[in-house]
Amino acid sequence: MSEPTHASSGASCAGSRRERLDLAGRRIVLGLSGGIACYKSAELLRLLTQAGADVHVVMTAGAQRFITLDTMQALSGHPVATDIWDAREPNGMPHINLTRGADAVLVAPASADFIARLAQGRAEDLLSLVCLARPWGVGERPVPLLLAPAMNREMWAHPATQRNLAQVSADGALVLGVDSGAQACGEIGDGRMLEAAALLEELVAALAPKPLAGRRVLITAGPTFEAIDPVRGITNLSSGKMGFAIARAAREAGAEVTLVAGPVHLATPRGVRRIDVRSATQMHEAVLPIAAAQDLFVATAAVADWRPASLSAQKIKKDGKKVAPTFELAENPDILAAVAALPQRPYCVGFAAESEKLEAHAREKLHRKRLPLIVGNLGPATFGRDDNALLLVDAHSTRALPADGQAADKLALARELVQEIARRMAQEAA
């Protein structure tokens, strides 16, 4: 059972000690080709710099029709590169200088024409030349190329565009896909560039270490809701934030992630398959059929231990006598114990939310459910917050995460936890 956190607060609390800089120390080349989606690129640039990246912008002539050089220079803190024959470069080779030492090239927007140029290996403008000249694995550390397409729905669906997308993917580019919705031309369909926050998430994932590459990971998150009547039920204060953060971190680490979520109001991490459930029984029914095929199961969900034995068909009304109704309770299935008891079980990690004696209660749960690892936290200390502090308990040791025992941002904490779990799984397999 995970820590219950209040679902109403989406912003980080003032008490958090650490500011998370997902791209600290990273050098990113941001390319813009022509398209109305260039207006989103300014927001993307702002998010990249806020995440700690050093961003150098390259714009085609078409992009300059939609957004100014001054805007992108002001947001990046660097002059914008536009010309193959840039006289500011001492060696006259901006296409080389931009990519040597870069961590990634991200083209957003990538127009249909620009993708066609890449598919053919053409290099008549600086941006396509940068993409072609970037180190891609021959004798040097490869520089990933990420493309965020943006175009009209008919252009997106056209066989020529799809052939070109397949070709650039085969050549090593990571095509990030598109959104569907209203387009600038007035039509509705696929082809919209992903929003800035989604592109940031994709870039962070692309650059992350991949200790779980090829692994299948199943995660439960959030509360369950056990109905009493059609309008009331038994639930808890879990927001699901820790579980969703772990799902994102596992996907960043290269895993194929399935997230079984109770009733929460959180966006699904990109690249994660989500199954929504309501009750403990539904969560059990969603988890058990697929658990044996997983490599890792992380049970962060705050699953109710009990449910009403019977459901009232109608809302239970006051009878005027001020006598509170009574309920017979039935025990819910223990999802974590059931998965841990499978003949071909995945590596199982449980969560324990306690109000006192954290290590003692976590260790008891570890032995009772025969788990290799329990992650404990003091529930009241993290209610309604976006940060947390964890205690890792195994058969031989106890360790605080973070090491200083102070609260950390839940996503940063999830990343550290996923790396630790991956290390333990590798040791077990050795």
Catalytic machinery residues: 185
DSSP-assigned letters across all residues of 180-209: EEE-TTS-EEEEEPPPHHHHHHHHHHHHS-
Closest CA relative to residue 125, chosen from 169, 86, 78: 86
CA 120 to chain centre: 33
Closest CA relative to residue 111, chosen from 167, 152, 158, 81: 152
Q: If DSSP codes are grouped into helix, strand and coil, which group holds residue 21?
A: coil
Torsion of CA 420, 425, 427, 429, to 10 degrees: -170
Which tokens sit at 380?
């009241």
Which tokens sit at 365?
């749960």
Say if residues 168 and 122 touch (Cβ distance below 8 Å). no
H or E stretch including 27? strand 27-32
DSSP-assigned letters across all residues of 220-282: EESB--EESSSS-EE------HHHHHHHHHHHHTT-EEEEEE-S---PPPTT-EEEE--SHHH
Closest CA relative to residue 165, chosen from 180, 178, 182: 178
Closest CA relative to residue 32, chosen from 70, 62, 12: 62
Closest CA relative to residue 233, chosen from 130, 311, 144: 311
